[in-house]
């Protein structure tokens, strides 16, 4: 089976290279207000996200409640707790930043588009995948800042939970609600121009990634990151994924799920959203210079999860076709 490089992953790599070569445009001293542009882009992303959500499908999706509880518990409870176990081993400021980057990854919601696509390829429960991936992003608006608040309050960041929620409400939640309200009138256009909206979403994410890494490069933050740190980071990403994949599969069997529900639980319960991650990092970390490092495990996880899940999805899909 042939594999193609995901164009978005390639675009991320190019963006990081551009941030390294031209950090001045994303630095704090830049005359271009990338923060304002990104904030407007974020609000539009979530407006279109709400516009694409169907209230009717959301209501019908509530029926398979045991599957939903497992997916959301895996995403927002089991995932963070696994990373939390290793917090006592943090013995330096640099290691704390690296651990915080992994904890941020663990506290994020599931990704929407790739989860649904992979479940579809694997012949899993598609309606449940759509429901869980969609509701995960909304739950994450509340849960992710709560998890991060335990550690960022004492960290070297300007973190105030009240101010964070105000920003999330104005930039994320209100646009989603407005989109949901207008779904019956404009939902058809969101579906019609789905490809354009996806491109827009990714463009905003690339802008935030450029800004984050340009600031980090400009302030020489990555000078403290050794090659051995990067190797350990990759190994941890791989282990974290497989541990979660095993746990969700084990719990699915214990709960007596059929194969379709098991596929959905494992695919949705192990995925983390790069879109939500880049957006939340901008809000939670207040454009700190270390944000490039904070995003690094998430970007590695994003690339790895797409690669591995695509292999697994194709195997499941082929087996289902043969049956």
For residue range 168-202, list pLDDT tens digits in order: 888 888 888 898 899 888 888 888 888 898 888 88
Q: What percent of the chain has pLDDT over 90?
A: 27
Banded model confidence at residue 57, pLDDT cuts 50, 70, 90: low
Enter the tokens of residue 309.
């899940």
pLDDT, position 53: 75
CA distances to 73, 147, 148, 249, 265 from 127, in Å:
19, 29, 31, 19, 12
290-300 burial: b if 16+ Cβ within 10 Å, else e = bbbbbbbbbbb
pLDDT, position 152: 78
Q: Does the pLDDT value for residue 59 go beyond 80? A: no
**Mean pLDDT to the nearest integer, 206-232:** 82
pLDDT, position 250: 97
Distance CA 309, CA 315 (A): 10
Poorest-pLDDT segment among 67-71, 128-132, 286-290: 286-290
Enter the tokens of residue 240.
């974290």
Q: What percent of the chain has pLDDT over 70?
A: 90
Q: Does the pLDDT value for residue 284 go beyond 80? A: yes
Token pair 């449940």 is found at 128
Token pair 């599931």 is found at 110
Contact 176, 49 (CB under 8 A): yes
Q: Does the pLDDT value for residue 275 go beyond 70? A: yes
Q: Tell how far CA 264 is from the center of its chain.
A: 17
Distance CA 49, CA 42 (A): 10
Banded model confidence at residue 208, pLDDT cuts 50, 70, 90: confident
Contact 313, 121 (CB under 8 A): yes
pLDDT, position 173: 82
Closest CA to 302 of 16, 2, 19: 16
pLDDT tens across 68-110, in order?
999 999 999 999 999 999 999 888 877 888 899 999 999 999 8
According to DSSP, residue 110 is labeled P
Distance CA 278, CA 213 (A): 11
pLDDT, position 95: 84
Distance CA 35, CA 98 (A): 24
Mean pLDDT of the chain, nearest integer: 84
Give DSSP secondary structure letters for 22-79.
-GGGTSTT-SS-HHHHHHHHHHHHHHHHHHH--HHHHHHGGG-HHHHHHHHHIIIIIH
Q: Does the pLDDT value for residue 222 go beyond 80? A: no
Q: Does the pLDDT value for residue 5 go beyond 80? A: no
pLDDT, position 214: 86
Q: Does the pLDDT value for residue 159 go beyond 60? A: no
Q: Does the pLDDT value for residue 287 go beyond 80? A: no
Backbone angles phi, psi at 306, to 5 degrees: -65, -45
**Mean pLDDT to the nearest integer, 40-69:** 80
Q: Does the pLDDT value for residue 2 go beyond 80? A: no
- Give CA angle at 272 (268, 274), nearest 5°: 135
């Amino acid at each position: 089976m042939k594999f193609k490089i995901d164009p978005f992953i390639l675009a991320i790599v190019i963006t990081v290279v551009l941030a390294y070569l031209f950090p001045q445009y994303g630095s704090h001293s830049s005359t271009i207000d990338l923060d304002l542009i990104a904030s407007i882009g974020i609000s539009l992303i979530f407006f279109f996200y709400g516009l694409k959500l169907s209230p009717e499908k959301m209501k019908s999706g509530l029926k398979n409640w045991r599957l939903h509880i497992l997916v959301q518990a895996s995403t927002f409870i089991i995932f963070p707790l696994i990373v939390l176990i290793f917090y006592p081993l943090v013995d330096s400021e640099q290691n704390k930043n690296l651990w915080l980057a992994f904890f941020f990854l663990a506290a994020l919601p599931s990704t929407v588009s790739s989860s649904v696509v992979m479940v579809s390829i694997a012949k899993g429960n598609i309606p449940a995948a759509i429901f869980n991936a969609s509701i995960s992003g909304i739950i994450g608006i509340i849960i992710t800042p709560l998890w991060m608040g335990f550690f960022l309050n004492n960290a070297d960041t300007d973190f105030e939970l009240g101010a964070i929620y105000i920003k999330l409400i104005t930039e994320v939640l209100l646009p989603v609600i407005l989109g949901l309200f207008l779904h019956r009138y404009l939902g058809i256009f969101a579906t019609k121009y789905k490809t354009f909206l996806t491109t827009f979403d990714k463009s905003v994410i690339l802008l935030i990634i450029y800004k984050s890494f340009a600031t980090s490069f400009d302030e020489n933050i990555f000078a403290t990151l050794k090659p051995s740190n990067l190797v350990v980071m990759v190994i941890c990403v791989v282990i974290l994924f497989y541990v979660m994949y095993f746990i969700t599969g084990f719990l699915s069997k214990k709960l007596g799920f059929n194969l379709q529900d098991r596929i959905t639980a494992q695919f949705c319960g192990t995925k983390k959203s790069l879109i939500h991650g880049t957006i939340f990092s901008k809000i939670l970390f207040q454009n700190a210079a270390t944000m490039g490092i904070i995003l690094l495990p998430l970007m590695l996880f994003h690339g790895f999860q797409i690669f591995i899940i695509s292999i697994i999805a194709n195997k499941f899909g082929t087996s289902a076709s043969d049956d």
